[in-house]
Amino acid sequence: MGGAGVTPGFPFSAVVGQDDVKLALLLNAVDPRIGGVLLRGQKGSAKSTLARGLAALLPGEAPFVDLPVGATEDRVVGTIDIEAALTEGRRRFHPGLLAAADGGVLYVDEVNLLPDHLVDVLLDVAASGVNRVEREGVSEAHPARFVLAGSMNPEEGELRPQLLDRFGLAVDVAANADPAERAEAVRRRLAHDADPAAFAREWADSEAGLRERLAAARPAALPGPLLEAVSRLCAAAGAEGLRADLVICRAAAALAGWDDRGAATASDVRRVAPLALAHRRRRDPFEAPGMDRDQLEDALDEALGDPPPPPPDGGDAGGSEGSDDSDGTEPRHAAGDRGPAAPDAPTRVIGIHAGRQPTGEAPSGRRSPTLGRRGRLVGDRVPDGPATGVALGATTRAAAARRATAPAPAGGPPGPAGLGPAGLGMVTAEDLREPVREQLAGNLVVLAVDASGSMGVERRMEAVKGAVLSLLLDAYQRRDRVCLVTFRGEDAEVALRPTGSVEVARHRLGELPTGGRTPLAAGIRTALQVATTNSGPHRPLVVLVSDGRATAAPGGADPVAAALDAAAEVRRRGVPALVVDVEDGSPRLGLAPELARRMGARCVSLPELSAGALGHALRGMVGG
């Protein structure tokens, strides 16, 4: 699609494989009320290519809008028209990206990195087809019916379960492992890049067929007994709420309409159920994505009866180009072994907040709202000192009000109607307003762990692995990040960079080297550097797991003195901290409490160190 001089995009029908992705996108095009598609998986697996290709199949010059992760709420939902406010003194709505996507495809890459309040807005509008704006003196509602496609790499952190549940369908995407199909995919991409126009002509008939079929498709009827069977299926699968029931019903009806049938059948439910149920089953990040095939088959058989025989040609119900022999009962690339689990079973750690005062546990999945430079716009204010940003709507309103009421300068010409005299300046310092934004505050928990050859190192490392995964269990519900610094030999290293991803942590924590001397100062300083340079909107918390012994320091310095100086630097930088004293044996030297005093930190003694004990100690770090 597009005018003269525009390079044709890669055709939807020319993408090799990825049948589940194609089907999920097409069904949302037939009925956008399904609620969008979440594409989880590797980069370079044609996610954005298929989303862009779908827009070319929609009627008319359907738009394709790529929403950047850094987009502001104003840019997404729309805001006051600045030019109209300044030049005409009128409050007029300036549409945002949601309006631009009406009738087409709205694609959000790395949707898991988008602020939660914007994800909420996107999902609300995708389900309702209407964008309602009440802000900055503007009351507006406009159509915004589009296919929402969000993609994410799970290694960069998961979506919160509350948001994950609101995506209608989800597909785990991976590059095809079959060498012949990979070669064909590369061959087609090279041919397109060499001559896009010729490649588009080669696939024009296939694209035209899909376009005509999609234009004619309407959701089919859903028989009452089938609706009841869907409810039995969702109850047997343990789906919470009614979203799964609604999505399966709508998707099955859309699939029947896509196949030009008058009513949905049990076969349609069997085809779409895995796409609607798999992501709703994962309430715990330690559960592998997707559903157990046997468990799903048993639930389908119980709710729908015996499966029908396969079609004679082995065709796929989706009917899209490049299909394979997948029967669609589960994601083709189901997650396998995610790496070695921690020896101590992870337990939920509630209320990990950066702060010094223990004030009890925070409710699971909640964060206290805090004001900052990012997040949802909740108001505006006159700056107290240099402005940290500009609230455009409030600033223009203030400027228009001033211009409308200011007296005319002697001999000055009149200004535009309703704006008072000219020559008063478009915007002055007194008009300036800065935005007030609200966001949910998460934490960056930096664990600095002694991995030297001191007594008890194996038990210490086992407990730390379990505690990290326990923290990530909590982070899955929130916006927390966890980092692991280990120190041994002559220096410290960041063994696990700040992450909210269980997948990354499992791989990185599989084997951690131990042994050698104890560079305690290096460990503290490395943890402090990570906490102060990588926290971003997160509140940092340094957790030192050590017996306080130090046997190595840079430049031949005294190891103990260097460690105490590093501990004092933590306090000077104002970073909250916790010292976990793991000293055992006799006689006890009591070095860790002095480190804690220098840090201005709490010190807890854990003679029976385990993931559970360490998690319990961290649980008290709330407030601030």
CA angle, 41 as apex, 35 and 42 as ends, to 5°? 140
Catalytic annotation present for 271: no
Report pLDDT for 204: 92
Residue of 243, 270, 488, 598 marked catalytic: 243
Show the beta-strand stretches assigned E in 576-621: 577-581, 602-605
Pairing of strands 539-546, 443-450: parallel
**Regions of the chain with pLDDT less than 70:** 1-6, 80-91, 135-138, 155-158, 160-162, 281-294, 306-379, 385-390, 392-393, 406-427, 437-441, 455-457, 460, 466-479, 501-503, 506, 510, 534-537, 585-588, 606-624
Report pLDDT for 624: 35
CB 171 within 8 A of CB 42: no
Report pLDDT for 311: 54
**3-state SS assignment for residue 228:** helix
Report pLDDT for 621: 55
pLDDT digits 0-9 by tens, 49-95: 898 899 999 988 889 998 887 777 778 888 766 666 555 556 677 78
CB 446 within 8 A of CB 431: no
> Cβ contacts of residue 254 below 8 Å, gap of 6+?
27, 28, 30, 31, 34, 217, 219, 220
d(CA 112, CA 170): 13
pLDDT digits 0-9 by tens, 147-176: 888 888 776 666 766 677 788 899 888 777
Task: Give, for 420, the enclosing helix (H) or strand (E).
Answer: none
Measured from the Cβ of residue 139, the count of other Cβ atoms closer than 10 Å reads 10
The residue type of 379 is G
Phi, psi of 425 (to 5 degrees): 90, 140
610 half-sphere exposure, CB direction, 13 A CA radius: 8
d(CA 70, CA 75): 10
CB 13 within 8 A of CB 320: yes
Report pLDDT for 331: 33
d(CA 197, CA 62): 20
Residue of 334, 260, 269, 258 lying closest to 308 (CA atoms):
269
Report pLDDT for 516: 85
The pTM for the full model equals 0.61
Alpha helices in 406-518 (DSSP H): 457-477, 502-508
Per-residue tokens: 348: 């939920």
Look-up: residue for tokens 């209407």? 130
Report pLDDT for 333: 33
Task: Give, for 60, the enclosing helix (H) or strand (E).
Answer: none
DSSP at 288: P
Instruction: Find the length of the chain.
Output: 624
Report pLDDT for 110: 83
Edge to edge, the sheet with strand 147-152 lists 64-67, 105-108, 147-152, 37-41, 169-173
